[in-house]
């Protein structure tokens, strides 16, 4: 296959998050934005190192379970992936994807875990409590648009004024804002030229309280009086109530919502939401689950997995606004939350105070660095990291606490599967796992895994009697033996590599040694370099190198 060539094929399966596999002439091609069972025409976009990628040009035959999308913006808008299959089909697809990733991560391990399937979202439409809309144009030099990026485009914007996954109040705010700034003739910020004014519109709403926060993000290239825009929003016939209208300035070159400075145009700079009987104050840029009702399912499941934490110190790492920490606080001795976003930490502290939780402590900073400053040792650890997972060095520090159990919540199961490699290499194993669909009609899903440290299969109690008499070891003999005792030298990876190279004439990678040790159930604590390798896909050594490594392990009496 060559770049630019066009082929036809059947999508056999879809791997997380949106990787559609097509087999053509014995080769696997990966395309996006398809569903299993579709016959498509596609062009080859990349052929590199044995991997081939393509782009769907046309759907020739629909999948048997395919249906008509119910959102008029699909598939032009890039916000949703599975508007053309039923919700039950989506659930089955996501459940299958997560199960395959976890099974692959546990491949070669000597344990079985319980997979409890997928839990559906309590609501499927209008569930999003946060939307980040972008200003731009739908076609080059076209009229001002406000909405989501067009599928596959970095520039074009689709005005999603009838979005089916966003709250209806969001659509009303979007339409009113777009009309207002079109009439004013204000330019949007052009990412390549770094010129213009209008950048983003962020809208957040609480399901339980109905409070709404609207944030206009602009550059500082113009001075504009936004009081008229603010008053216009306040007059909209919304179902919810506007708690605050803000103006955030952002001159970052990156196409991200960044807070350089914020001005309150109306009300306050936060809104309040309620989850599981607790009240949370949420600021514009702090993390909070985008599906409030789904979050209750997620955290109830997490709480049931964790069980009794009475008299235990719990670490909630990557704690956001402290939601999990405060859910666990009433049934724990103490909870310490660590979060890198200072704004979220301040909100978490205020939330704990409002909820009357005196046993919560929140610290601002990178988990990798903050853990070195905490003198207390946890009894239980909760991990809820961002999409990229836990940094390997931070994960090693977490593992070194040696807690018997920990809970990992992930919004990206591929990152979870990668981190499981290191966790399992250091003695942890999955007990229970499930997923929660927090994002209907998209390719994303939350996963929850309860991990426990391996325990000995059995314990032998040995009674030794000291002193004089028949069957007893004389004390002077014990002292003499102690003088002669020499501890067994530590066998390093370098020693194993040198032995293999000297005897067999070839070199072995530390990751190969790690793989063999793992297959034999040996600990990995003495192999920082090999452990570091495990954040990458596993490396399966050739048979002759496996035998050579085993021979070295026998020589050094490791096995």
Mean pLDDT value of segment 399-418: 95
For 52, residues 6+ apart whose C-beta sits below 8 A from its C-beta are: 1, 27, 28, 29, 30, 44, 46
- What is the DSSP code (8-state) at residue 114? E
User: In angstroms, rounded to a whole number, what is the distance separating the alpha carbons of residues 256 and 223?
Assistant: 21
Per-residue pLDDT of 185-203, as tens digits, reads 999 999 889 999 999 999 9
pLDDT for 535:
45
User: What pLDDT, on a 0 to 100 scale, did the predictor assign at position 472?
Assistant: 55
Q: DSSP letters along 430-479, please?
A: EEEEEEE--STTSS--EEEEEEEE---S--------BSSSTT-B-HHHHH
H/E stretch holding 455: none
CB neighbours of residue 353 within 10 Å: 12
Q: CA-to-CA distance for 559 and 557, rounded, in angstroms?
A: 5
pLDDT of residue 525: 43
Kindly report, residue by residue over 26-58, the tens digit of the pLDDT. Answer: 899 999 999 999 999 999 999 987 789 999 999
Which one, of 217, 274, 264, 218, lies nearest residue 243 by Cα? Answer: 264
Confidence band, pLDDT 50/70/90 cuts, at residue 245:
very high
Euclidean distance between CA atoms 217 and 198, whole angstroms: 7
pLDDT in tens, 54-96: 999 999 999 998 999 999 999 999 899 999 999 999 999 999 9
Q: What percent of the chain has pLDDT over 90?
A: 70
Query: Is 434 tagged catalytic?
Result: no
Lowest mean pLDDT among 43-52, 226-235, 506-515: 506-515
pLDDT of 207 above 80? yes
Helix, strand, or coil here: 64? coil
What percentage of the chain carries pLDDT values higher than 70? 91
For the chain, the C-alpha Rg in angstroms (whole number) is: 28
The region, left, alpha or beta by phi > 0 then psi within -120 to 50, assigned to residue 183 is alpha
Which pLDDT value is given to residue 462? 52
Using CB atoms within 10 Å of the CB of residue 316, give its burial: 0 to 12 exposed, 13 to 18 middle, 19+ buried: buried
Q: Which residues, at least 6 apart from 302, have a Cβ–Cβ distance to it below 8 Å? A: 324, 327, 382, 407, 409, 448
What would the mean pLDDT of 116-137 be, rounded to a whole number?
96
Report yes or no: 325 and 316 within 8 Å, Cβ to Cβ: yes
Q: Using an 8 Å Cβ cutoff, are 334 and 361 in contact? A: yes
Where does the pLDDT of residue 529 fall: very low under 50, low under 70, confident under 90, or very high at 90 and above? very low
Closest CA to 451 of 433, 434, 429, 435: 429
- 92-106 average pLDDT score: 96
Least confident residue range of 181-185, 357-361, 391-395, 537-541:
537-541
Helix pair angle (392-400, 413-425), 10° resolution: 50
Please give the pLDDT value at position 532: 46
For 140-149, write each residue's pLDDT tens digit. 888 999 999 9
Question: How does 393-425 read in b/e, with b if 16+ C-beta sit within 10 Å?
Answer: ebbbbbbeeebebbbbbbbbbbbbbbbbbbbbb
Pairing, β 380-383 against β 114-119: unpaired
Angle at 12 between CA 85 and CA 71, to 5 degrees: 20
Number of H helices, E strands in the chain: 14, 22
Q: Is the pLDDT of residue 254 over 90?
A: no
Helix (H) / strand (E) element for 242: namely strand 241-249
Strands 332-339 and 360-364: parallel
**Cα distance between residue 265 and residue 234, in whole Å:** 11
* 44, 94, 176, 247, 386 from 148: Cα distances, Å: 26, 24, 16, 20, 22
- Could you tell me if 200 and 134 are in contact, meaning their C-beta atoms sit under 8 angstroms apart? yes
Measured in whole angstroms, the distance separating CA 268 from the mean position of its chain's CA atoms is 30
pLDDT, mean of residues 96-121: 94
Count Cα neighbours of 10 within 13 Å in the Cβ-side half-sphere.
Answer: 5
Beta-sheet pairing, 278-282 with 271-275: antiparallel
**Residue 265 contacts residue 226 (beta carbons within 8 Å):** yes
CA 285, 287, 293, 294 dihedral sign is positive
DSSP letter at 373 equals G
310-314, 379-383, 482-486, 508-512: least confidently modelled range? 482-486
Query: Which pLDDT belongs to residue 471?
Result: 52
**Is pTM beyond 0.85 here?**
no
Q: Is the pLDDT at 483 greater than 80, yes or no?
A: no
Q: What is the pLDDT of residues 261-320, one digit of tens each?
A: 899 999 999 999 999 999 999 988 888 899 999 999 999 999 999 988 989 999 999 998
Rounded distance, CA 204 to CA 167, Å? 9
Task: Identify the active-site residue in 411, 426, 434, 435.
Answer: 411
Q: Nearest Cα to 285, choosing from 225, 241, 340?
A: 340
Distance CA 268, CA 281 (A): 11
């Amino acid at each position: 296959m060559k770049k630019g060539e066009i082929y036809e094929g059947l999508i056999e399966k879809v791997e997380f998050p949106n990787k559609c596999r097509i087999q053509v002439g014995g080769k696997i091609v990966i395309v996006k934005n398809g569903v299993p069972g579709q016959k498509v025409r596609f062009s080859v976009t990349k052929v590199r190192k044995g991997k081939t990628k393509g782009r769907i040009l046309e759907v020739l035959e629909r999948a048997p379970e395919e249906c008509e999308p119910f959102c008029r913006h699909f598939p032009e808008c890039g916000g949703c992936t599975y508007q053309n299959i039923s919700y039950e089909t989506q659930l089955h697809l996501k459940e299958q994807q997560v199960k395959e990733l976890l099974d692959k991560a546990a491949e070669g391990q000597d344990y079985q875990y319980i997979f409890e399937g997928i839990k559906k979202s309590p609501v499927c439409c209008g569930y999003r409590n946060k939307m980040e809309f972008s200003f731009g144009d739908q076609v080059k030099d076209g009229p001002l648009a406000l909405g989501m990026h067009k599928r596959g485009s970095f520039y074009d914007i689709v005005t999603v004024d009838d979005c089916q996954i966003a709250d209806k109040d969001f659509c009303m705010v979007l339409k009113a804002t777009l009309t207002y700034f079109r009439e004013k003739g204000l330019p949007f910020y052009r990412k390549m030229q770094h010129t213009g004014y209008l950048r983003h519109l962020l809208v957040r709403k609480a399901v339980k309280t109905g409070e709404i926060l609207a944030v206009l993000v602009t550059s500082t290239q113009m001075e504009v009086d936004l009081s008229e825009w603010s008053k216009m929003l306040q007059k909209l016939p919304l179902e919810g109530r506007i708690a605050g209208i803000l103006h955030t300035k952002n001159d970052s070159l990156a196409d991200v919502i960044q807070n350089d400075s914020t001005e309150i145009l109306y009300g306050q700079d936060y809104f309040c939401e309620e989850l599981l009987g607790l009240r949370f104050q949420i600021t514009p840029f702090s993390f909070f689950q985008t599906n409030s009702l789904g979050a209750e399912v997620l955290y109830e499941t997490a709480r049931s997995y964790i069980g009794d934490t009475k008299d235990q110190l719990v670490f909630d790492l990557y704690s956001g606004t402290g939601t999990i920490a405060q859910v666990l606080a009433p049934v724990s001795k103490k909870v310490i939350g660590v979060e890198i976003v200072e704004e979220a930490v301040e909100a978490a502290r205020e939330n704990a105070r409002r909820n009357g939780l005196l046993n919560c402590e929140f610290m601002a900073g990178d988990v990798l660095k903050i853990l070195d400053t905490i003198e207390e040792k946890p009894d239980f650890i909760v991990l809820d990291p961002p999409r990229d997972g836990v940094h390997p060095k931070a994960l090693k520090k977490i593992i070194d606490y040696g807690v018997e159990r920990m809970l990992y919540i992930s919004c990206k199961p591929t990152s979870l599967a990668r981190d499981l490699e290191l966790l399992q290499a250091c003695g942890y194993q999955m007990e229970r796992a499930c997923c929660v669909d927090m994002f209907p009609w998209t390719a994303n899903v939350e996963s929850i895994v309860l991990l426990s440290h391996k325990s000995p299969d059995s314990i032998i109690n040995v009674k030794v009697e000291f002193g004089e008499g028949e069957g007893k070891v004389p004390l002077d003999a014990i002292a003499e033996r102690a003088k002669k005792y020499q501890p067994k030298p530590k066998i390093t990876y370098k020693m194993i590599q040198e032995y293999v190279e000297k005897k067999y004439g070839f070199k072995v990678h530390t990751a190969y040694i790690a793989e063999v040790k793992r297959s034999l159930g040996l600990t990995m604590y003495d192999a920082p370099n090999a452990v570091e390798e495990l954040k990458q896909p596993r490396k399966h050594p050739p048979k002759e190198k496996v035998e050579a490594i085993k021979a070295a392990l026998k020589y050094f009496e490791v096995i």
